Structures are given as structure tokens and as C-alpha cells.
Amino acid sequence: MTNSPQQVGRTRDEMAIRLAQDIPDGSYVNLGIGIPELIAKYVPEGREFIYHTENGLLGMGPSPESGLGDPELINAGKRQVTAIPGAAYFHHADSFAMIRGGHLDLCVLGALQVSSGGDLANWSTGAPDAIPAVGGAMDLVAGVKSIYVITQHCTKNGEPKLVQACTFPLTGCGIVNRIYTNLAVIEVTAEGFQLIELSPGIDFEYVAERTGAPLLPLKDNTK
Amino acid sequence: MTNSPQQVGRTRDEMAIRLAQDIPDGSYVNLGIGIPELIAKYVPEGREFIYHTENGLLGMGPSPESGLGDPELINAGKRQVTAIPGAAYFHHADSFAMIRGGHLDLCVLGALQVSSGGDLANWSTGAPDAIPAVGGAMDLVAGVKSIYVITQHCTKNGEPKLVQACTFPLTGCGIVNRIYTNLAVIEVTAEGFQLIELSPGIDFEYVAERTGAPLLPLKDNTK
Amino acid sequence: MINKQLANAEEAVADVFDGATIMISGFGEAGSPIELIHALIDHGATNLTVINNNTGSGEVGLAALIKAKRVSKMICSYPRTANSTVFPKLYRSGETELELVPQGTLAERIRAGGSGIPAFYTPTSVGTPLGEGKEHRTINGREFVLEYGLTADFSLIKGRLADTHGNVLYNKTARNFGPLMAMAGNVSVIQAEHIVTPGEIDPEVIITPGIFVNRVVEIQKPAVESELIAAGVSYP
Amino acid sequence: MINKQLANAEEAVADVFDGATIMISGFGEAGSPIELIHALIDHGATNLTVINNNTGSGEVGLAALIKAKRVSKMICSYPRTANSTVFPKLYRSGETELELVPQGTLAERIRAGGSGIPAFYTPTSVGTPLGEGKEHRTINGREFVLEYGLTADFSLIKGRLADTHGNVLYNKTARNFGPLMAMAGNVSVIQAEHIVTPGEIDPEVIITPGIFVNRVVEIQKPAVESELIAAGVSYP
């Protein structure tokens, strides 16, 4: 889409590491499927996060050692997990009471598109023959205190995922707070996409060119 | 109110015994405070009822022996009780889900007034300086499958409690199924109060005179 | 005296009628009552509306019920799963209808149905295609949609331990929709690995009190869906 | 690392502000957090709206808070109890306002408030004085009233056992409103007889998961309200 030379930015793991640094100690966190799951590997030294999985577990731990799992102890992605000391099991209505009732501090999700108004599309491409499947995404974005998106800045075809208005079916309106991509960390503000930080080796122009809506440059914090 | 000679009818315990005979085996039952509580003493041979108390216990047993109770194991009347084998504790929202969701088979309540349309008044006399207090009565009558009233036929002043229309504030509308008094067993039907059975030694006229709405005589079941 | 235990899964589903609405517990394979579902397939009832979070995997359990063309409508939040090929085919051919409900709304609708709450407001789905056509209302400055309670003629549920009064415990994240569906089923059927005498379970730890349960059957070593699929099993 | 334990009841209520809405657990004396209430009396916050099923007994706990004229409004289902003389006097003199709510509606409103459900329909109170003035709606041929969720600035709750993550177990029928109020309080405070390390409580039996709890304090031998009353105690 542009002729500027390729800039690499952060890997998926580096994106997860970067996002994890912004999660306060003691946070209750729900991690979506995909890149968000990587965050659990990169909890900063001295901090403790408690992971919620919407299928009924608070205090989710890492995957079990091979052969030691229980097919009835799984996460929302239906993969086997473990439970940490202090964990609790509960039914789906209680689980979504936690979500809808604003008890979770942070949800990190993947995205198909995010608009400059904070709308998120992440559950359907709207393709006519696709089987629509939403899961808990709409509840999470409607209820969790902060919604962070972690995603590649552009699609595999180079199209921007950060757009003026989503063309895919929405998951929720005006609910995304921050976006962590391979290229940058961006806050969704009343004025639109606000750059917070460029990934190492990335230029502002390079990011702006690949963003489908105006990108406000870094604020001068030296004033 | 009438000049006919006093007829005695059933005692409170006999009323409870009579009502208990009409409860099917295996019923889930909520007993109100007062005469209803006596029913638990008179479960017919070969039957098992499970008692629900709305403050969070299914499988309520009798009062504990003196000195063996727990002030945190009480019934809705705030008296110490016990728990039978198979009992379960739960919180108030689950308890009223049982009630409102139609999971209880029977609730037996006292009454200030019952109308021929099945309206019940049992929580307030509407006196201007009374402290209004409703508890769970309105939820019980709105949700439990069958509502039986057990009460003296008349007030201490000889006024009928079974009336054309309640003058006291209502607990619920059209929800009473049957009334067990010292004088008779009466069903609330679309046609009004239908006599089902006279207490031993009681005349139809004696009951009809003390009932504030038309009383339909016993149906001839020999046809 | 009260004894809700039946001899086997066959008896427990014997009166399921054509056209019935059936809630089936489980989130993926966790909590899926495979033996009850297979008994339902054997029983033959058809034109069913099934409420489950997913649509089954492989060709066992719920997927086998769908493959046998017994399900005319699915109400679920996530019909797309790994190894889920049966439902997509019937959905695309128009043979099975789909009502897609956000997961938390699905859970709350089932709880409401079992709790005598006919309808409630939720922020979930506002401004999305799943909120379209639903009644909206602004409360304290925020917009909500109106959702209705769900009930079922039968609920088929997998527990871990039950007693003959119908008190039930579950296993880890297999609990998921089970306690809610027990509340919302007109006839709620539990399959449990062990059925004990009332009093053997501490009343403080019971998850589903017996009042919500009509029938219990003991299935001592329930099949594991992923193992059946790995072994290439196709039911029946 | 996460540790929600505070040193004592005084610390746990130190930031309660004048005009706050406070949920207090308990049904009669069962589940009443007397030590937290007494700490609140000592603290001095006033003009409180208090949500509790009752209005306390004697002159200890909730009744003592009311007697100290810290409560401008009570939301409850049953303000008339044996040994309850404090509230009636202040109610009749107009010093304390009363919002009377049917018990099941009160419980469901608290659960709704904690669950992000702003409003729901219920059959309870239709056709009665407590349904008057409320929005009515006919659903499937039956009439219902609209009720709104309740939340609080602080919830004061008595548990039996808790851990430092805020997971809580209760004692018998003292459970009552505790788990609901823990969900609905912006700051939820638990007093428990024992506070243990995370992992000491089986995750299958936890009633209130720690996410709903902000503070826990250990009160090893909590006072028994009926014993205080029998002994003629009047707090402070």
C-alpha cells in the first residue's frame, strides 16, 4: 500500500511482553484466544495477575504437563489448563456476572478491525457462508473495565486493521481503550487514535501510513 | 354476628393434620410462620416432604434439642432449626429462584383475609402507624405452584376472614388454591368458594353464615 | 420416600417427545452428558430444539444427534469448533436453524428462565448485529437490550456426584451450564459417576440442590468425547 | 502480591464516607457482621443508606447503628422483628426513611446490581401496594413489574472462612445475602473467623470467589447478637 521500506517492529511475543508491562499488580484479567494467551508467560517481576476464563474458573494456571491434564479443566479456547492455589470454580451465570458486572479489570482481545471511536470487530467477517460464532466476546467488551486489543497492525494483505469505521460486524461500540500492535501502542481517545509509543525502529510516518484513520503524534511530555 | 349456637370444629393441630393429608409424597413445601409450622409434626405415614425455608435451606428439620442449636441455623421465623440428611444451603437469590421459578410444590400460609377470587391479604392491616413488613410472602404467592391457607375461619371478633373482596393490603391476586379452617376445607374456584369438606360436627349453614361471600355447597360425588 | 434414581440413561429419556426443547450441559466436551445424548439418539425423538453452548465435535454426543437429523434448531453462542463439521453442513443446507446468542446472555437467559424472571436488560450486543431488532432502553444514561428467559422441556446434564434426592456436584470447569440448566428444565436429568445416599454430601458444598432435579442415573465411567473422536468413533 | 487482609475492622471501614450506601449481610442475627458494624459506629460516618433484610434487634449491631442516628434510609423487606424497637421509633418520628422491598425482589435486585443487569421483570408484588407506581408489562399473558438493580458503595459481610485472595465460605443459613452483597458492593469487606493462605480452600466449594471481595479481616470469635441482647448490652 506504500512504498516505504519494510519495518519489522515487535514480534508476537514482544507485543505480549509490552502489554504485560501495563497491567497493574493484582489485576483480574481475561485473555482472549491467540496472541492474548501469550501474555500469561510474561508477567513482570513482582506482580501477580489472576486469570479468569469465562467457562468457569478464576485463577487459571498454565497448561498441564503432557498426560496430566483433565479434559474437564479447560479454558475458553477449550485447551487443557491448570488451577492455581486460591482458584475457584463457578457456573456460567456467575462467570458472566463477573464480566458484565464490571468486576474484571482487563480483557485483552484480538481484532479484525478497531475504529478510531473504539468500536471493535473481532467475531465475524460477515462472509455469507460463514457460520456465525460469537462466544463471550460481546459480554466481555460490554462489561470489563478496560479493553485492550493486541493485534498485528495490518492484515496479511497489508490492509489497515485500525480504521475510521469498521466494515465487519461489530462486537461492541466505543469500548476499546488501547491497542498494542507490532508497530506501536495506541490509545483510543475522544480525538481518535493517539500514539503512545512506537515500537523500536519504527517511524511515526510508517505507522500513520498503515493506519486507516488519523493518528495523533506522541504528545510532548517534556512541557 | 349470628345467633346459631357455637360449634367448635378443628383445633389448630387438627387443622394441620387435615392439611398434611392433602400433601403428596415427595413434595417440596414452604411453611409460613404460625399454624403452618405445625404441619411438620404431622407428616402422614409413608410420606416424605422436604421443607424449604426462604433464608437458605432445603431439607429443614425440627428444632434442635435445647443447647444444641446454632444461632446461624434458623428458619424464616428466625427460630433455630436443624438440617436433615440430604439438606442443602444456598444464598438468597438461589432460594428465591426456587420460589419464583415455580420449583416449590406447595406453600402454606396464614391469612388476615382471603377473597372468593383467591386474593390473599396476610402482611399488613394497613393501620397508619404500623411498621410495614412483607418478608418473602409476596414472592411465595407469586411463584409457588399451590398456595394453601390455614387459618381460623373468623377473627377473634367474629368477623369473617373469607370475604368477597379483601379490605387489607393484598399479598397477591388470585393465588390461593385452598383454605383450611377450623370449620371447613374450601377450594377457591372460578365460581368462588367451593366447600370441599366440613369439619366434624359442623353444619354447612354454620360455615356459610361465617363466610363473607357465597359458599357453594358440597358437590354430590355419588352421581 | 424420595428416590430420583432411575436404572439407566434409556429410562431417563424415555418420555422425550418430538418437538421438545432440550437443554444439554457442557462447554465443548467438558460437562457434555454423552451417555444421555446417545440414549436420546437411540430413543428416536426428533424435531428437537437444542440449547447448548456449542454444536458438538466429531460424530459423537451432540454432533451425532445433529448428524442423525433430530435437531431442527440450535440455540448456542459458538457453533464453530475444532472437529465440528456436522452442524455447518446442515446449517448451510438450511436443515438446521440457528439462533446465535452471546454466551453471557445465553447463561443469564437460562438462569432467568429457571428463576421466574421473564425478561431482563443487558448491555451485551448493543450496537451489534445481534442486538438488531431487539427492544432497546436507556437506563441511567446507558443503552441496554431486552432479553427473555429460556426454559426447556428436558435438561440433560452431566454431574460428578449426586445423591438420590438430586443434589449434585460437578467436576472443575465441567460445571459451566449444568446448574443453570437444572433450574430451567421442566424435567432435569443428571448423569453422575456416583450416586450416594442423602446425607453423604456436605450441605455446605452442594452446587445444585435436589429441588431442581427430577432424575439421576449412574454412569460410572462416562466416555471422554475427545478420546472417542481420536478413536474415530461415529455414533450410533 | 495479592493480599486483601487488613489488620482489623477499624481499618476495613476507615474510608466510609457520609452519605454512603452500605449493604450489610444477615437475616436476623444469622450472618450479621457485628464487629464491622460496631467499627462503623466508632468511625462516625452518618447519613447512610443501609440495605439489610431487617433493621436489627436490641441495641447492638445494626440496631445500634440506627439508634446512633447514622442511618437516614433503610431498604429492607422486614423491619419488624422481635426485640426491634429502635427502628420503629425513628421511622414513626420521620427521622429514618423506609423503602420496603419484597425479600425475593431485594435479593434479585442485589444480584442484578452485582451482575451488570440494570433491570428485570418479576411477578412479585403485582396487584399489591408494593407494585403500585411501578412500570408494568405483560409477557406471555402474565403481568410483571420492572425492578432495578441495587449496588452499594460498601458491603459489610460476615463469612466463616476466607483466604487472603478474598475467597469466602459461610456458615449454614448465615450465607443468606452475603454472596450477593459481595457482588454488588463497590468495596466489599468480609469479616471471617479464620483467614487462610490461598490454596487451603478447595476451589470446588468456594461460595464467593475473591474477585468480588476487596478486604478481609479476621474476627476470631464474633459476638452472637442474641447473647449480647440477653446480656443487656447496648453499643457503644
Mean pLDDT taken over chain B: 95
The question of ipTM being above 0.95 is answered as: yes
Per-residue confidence (pLDDT) for residue A223, from 0 to 100:
53
Pairwise CA distance, residues D157 & D189, whole Å = 6
Largest CA distance in chain D: 55
Per-residue confidence (pLDDT) for residue A221, from 0 to 100:
65
- pLDDT confidence bin for B49, thresholds 50/70/90: very high
Set B48, B54, B187, B197: catalytic member? B54
CATH number of this structure's domain A5-216, picked from the four choices 3.80.10.10, 3.40.50.2300, 1.10.1200.10, 3.40.1080.10: 3.40.1080.10
Per-residue confidence (pLDDT) for residue B197, from 0 to 100:
97
- pLDDT confidence bin for B64, thresholds 50/70/90: very high
- The half-sphere exposure of A222 on its side-chain side, counting CA atoms within 13 A, is 1
Per-residue confidence (pLDDT) for residue B149, from 0 to 100:
98
Strand order across the beta sheet in which C21-24 lies = C97-100, C71-76, C48-51, C21-24, C152-158, C185-192, C215-218
**Residue among B55, B71, B170 minimizing CB distance to D128:** B170
Pairwise CA distance, residues C58 & C42, whole Å = 18
In chain C, the residue whose alpha carbon lies closest to the alpha carbon of A170 is C128
Per-residue confidence (pLDDT) for residue A3, from 0 to 100:
57
Which residues of D114-172 form beta strands (DSSP E)? 119-122, 136-139, 142-148, 152-158, 161-163, 168-169
Q: What's the pLDDT tens digit per position in C59-74?
A: 999 999 999 999 999 9
Contacting residues of D for B73, CB less than 8 Å apart: 30, 172-173
How many Å lie between the alpha carbon of B40 and the closest alpha carbon of chain C? 16
CATH architecture of the domain C19-100+151-220 equals: 3-Layer(aba) Sandwich (3.40)
Q: Where are the domains of chain D?
A: 19-100+151-220
Instruction: Inspect the interface and report whether the beta carbons of C211 and B104 lie closer than 8 Å.
Output: yes
In chain C, the residue whose alpha carbon lies closest to the alpha carbon of A87 is C172
Contacting residues of B for D226, CB less than 8 Å apart: 71
Set A14, A37, A48, A54: catalytic member? A54
Query: Which of D92, D124, D139, D205 best probes binding to B when mutated, by most B CB atoms within 10 angstroms?
Result: D124
Pairwise CA distance, residues A89 & A55, whole Å = 9
Q: What's the pLDDT tens digit per position in A94-139?
A: 999 999 999 999 999 999 999 999 999 999 988 888 888 999 999 9
Pairwise CA distance, residues C113 & A164, whole Å = 41
One-letter amino acid identity for A41?
A: K
Q: What letter does residue C13 receive in the DSSP assignment?
A: T
The β-bridge relationship of strands C48-51 and C71-76 is parallel
Instruction: Inspect the interface and report whether the beta carbons of B74 and D107 lie closer than 8 Å.
Output: no
Chains with 3+ CB–CB pairs under 8 A to D are A, B, C
Instruction: Inspect the interface and report whether the beta carbons of C173 and A73 lie closer than 8 Å.
Output: yes
Check if the beta carbon of residue D39 is closer than 8 Å to that of residue D67: no
**Residue among C27, C91, C108 minimizing CB distance to A93:** C108
Q: What's the pLDDT tens digit per position in A13-66?
A: 999 999 999 999 999 999 998 999 999 999 999 999 999 999 999 999 999 999
Instruction: Inspect the interface and report whether the beta carbons of D165 and A26 lie closer than 8 Å.
Output: no
Instruction: Inspect the interface and report whether the beta carbons of C169 and D204 lie closer than 8 Å.
Output: yes
Give the list of residues 6+ apart from residue A188 with CB closer than 8 angstroms, or none. A114, A116, A117, A118, A176, A177, A178, A179, A194
Question: Residue B209 catalytic?
Answer: no
Name the residue among A202, A151, A154, A210 with its Cα closest to residue A218.
A202
Question: What is the average pLDDT across D95-101?
Answer: 96
Q: Choose between B131 and C119: higher pLDDT.
A: C119
CA distances from A4 to A7, A180, A207, D157 (A): 9, 22, 11, 61
Report the range of poorest mean pLDDT among A76-80, D149-153, D173-177. Answer: A76-80
One-letter amino acid identity for A222?
A: T
Contacting residues of D for A90, CB less than 8 Å apart: 206, 209
End-to-end CA distance of chain D: 37
Name the residue among B177, B114, B169, B102 with its Cα closest to residue B140.
B102
Instruction: Inspect the interface and report whether the beta carbons of C179 and A91 lie closer than 8 Å.
Output: yes
Instruction: Inspect the interface and report whether the beta carbons of C102 and A136 lie closer than 8 Å.
Output: yes
Helix (H), strand (E) at residue C187: strand C185-192
How many Å lie between the alpha carbon of C37 and the closest alpha carbon of chain D? 26
Q: Where are the domains of chain B?
A: 5-216
Pairwise CA distance, residues A208 & A184, whole Å = 10
Q: Exposure string (b/e) for C79-88, b if CB count within 10 Å is 16 or more?
A: bbbebbebbb
Residue C141 has pLDDT above 90, yes or no: yes
Question: What is the average pLDDT across C10-39?
Answer: 98
Residue B222 has pLDDT above 70, yes or no: no
Write the DSSP string, C47-115. SEEEE-SS--STBSHHHHHHHTT-EEEEEES----TT--HHHHHHHTTSSEEEE--HHHHHHHHHHHHH
Pairwise CA distance, residues D25 & D29, whole Å = 10
**Residue among A28, A93, A100 minimizing CB distance to D211:** A28
* pTM above threshold 0.90: yes
Hey, is the C-beta of D116 within 8 angstroms of any chain C C-beta? yes
Three-state DSSP class for residue C166: coil
Per-residue confidence (pLDDT) for residue C210, from 0 to 100:
98
Contacting residues of B for D174, CB less than 8 Å apart: 72
Per-residue confidence (pLDDT) for residue A219, from 0 to 100:
86
Contacting residues of D for B74, CB less than 8 Å apart: 27-28, 30, 173
Query: Which of C117, C143, C201 best probes binding to D when mutated, by most D CB atoms within 10 angstroms?
Result: C117
- The half-sphere exposure of D120 on its side-chain side, counting CA atoms within 13 A, is 31
Instruction: Inspect the interface and report whether the beta carbons of D28 and B74 lie closer than 8 Å.
Output: yes
How many Å lie between the alpha carbon of D84 and the closest alpha carbon of chain C? 30
CB–CB contacts below 8 A, C to D: 52
Give the list of residues 6+ apart from residue B17 with CB closer than 8 angstroms, or none. B42
Per-residue confidence (pLDDT) for residue A222, from 0 to 100:
57
Integer-rounded Cα radius of gyration of chain A: 18
Residue B158 has pLDDT above 70, yes or no: yes
Question: What is the average pLDDT across C208-235?
Answer: 97
Q: Which long-range contacts (CB under 8 A, 24 or more apart) does A123-128 make?
A: A123/A169, A123/A171, A124/A168, A124/A169, A124/C129, A125/A168, A126/A168, A126/A169
Cell digits for C92?
A: 448451510
Pairwise CA distance, residues A1 & A165, whole Å = 19
Task: Compute how many other C-beta atoms are within 10 angstroms of the C-beta atom of residue A46.
Answer: 7
Pairwise CA distance, residues A138 & A135, whole Å = 8
**Residue among C113, C115, C210 minimizing CB distance to B86:** C210
Give the list of residues 6+ apart from residue D126 with CB closer than 8 angstroms, or none. B142, B172, B173, D136, D143, D144, D145
Q: Choose between B220 and B60: higher pLDDT.
A: B60
How many Å lie between the alpha carbon of C166 and the closest alpha carbon of chain B? 9
One-letter amino acid identity for B144?
A: V
Contacting residues of A for D195, CB less than 8 Å apart: none
Instruction: Inspect the interface and report whether the beta carbons of B93 and D108 lie closer than 8 Å.
Output: yes
* β-bridge partners, B187: B178, B194
- The half-sphere exposure of C62 on its side-chain side, counting CA atoms within 13 A, is 34
| Share of residues in chain B with pLDDT > 90 (%) | 89
Cell digits for D151?
A: 449496588
